[in-house]
Structure formats: C-alpha cells, structure tokens
Amino acid sequence: MVSGDGGTPGYVDGCLTPVRSEDRDAYLAFAAESALVFRDHGALRVVEGWGDDVPLGKHTDYARALDLRPDEVACYSWIEWPSKDARDTGWQAVMADPRMADRTMPFDGKRMVYGGFTPIFDQRMGAGA
C-alpha cells in the first residue's frame, strides 16, 4: 500500500443500494440497526450515504449499475475493518447474529452491488494540511 498518512491499510466493504425515496427513514433505521451488529462483530466504522448529486453518465453511471427506477435513489455505503481476516470473521458472526434474522430489507437486495476491497492508498487530511 502506498501510504499518505492515512494509517493502517485495513479492509473495506463497499456497497451500492437502490432505495425508494419514500423509504429513506426505513432505510436509515435498517442501516443504523445493522451498524450496531457490524460494530459488535469487529467493524471499525459504518457509513451510509444518500445520493443527492449522482449524475447520469454517457456510458455508465450509478443509475445503470443499479437499474434505478424513477422513484429510487442510489445509496453508497462502506464498512471499515481492521483487516481482511477480521472482516471475514466479522461477516460470519453478523450472518449468524439473531438480530439479523427475519429482517425486511427496505430496498431491492437483488440489485445491490457490493464487494470487498484492500486499500492501496489512504490519504487523510489533518487540521494542518
């Protein structure tokens, strides 16, 4: 990894999710409940973003990637882990956690795009930067 004062490499899960605009509050509640479970199983940070400046591209874009409907918004989220091993162990525990059972997802999970990533560069800007 090329370091730019960002710290340790860790591991990151990234996710794009199509969410109906009217389901924003339900999505936020679902995400907040899920974040507690992820944190309990080793995640360092969970971030959810609600798309508000997501332009259409000439060849590809978030809308095409998610097959967005007119009433949907692209949400971008990520989970930071201390390592890939911690992530793999954490995900197993999350999937076995009873708090995650029988939950209704306020989005179409079939159109989610997700994956795990090893950081290759991390630049954090401090107050003196």
Name all domains of the chain by residue range, CATH numbers in brackets: 10-100+112-119 (3.30.70.100)
pTM of the model: 0.88
Residues 75-100, mean pLDDT to the nearest whole number: 97
pLDDT band at 7 (very low <50, low <70, confident <90, very high): low
Burial 75-101 (b: 16+ CB within 10 A, else e): bbbebbbeeeebbeebbeebeeeeeee
Residues 83-92, mean pLDDT to the nearest whole number: 98
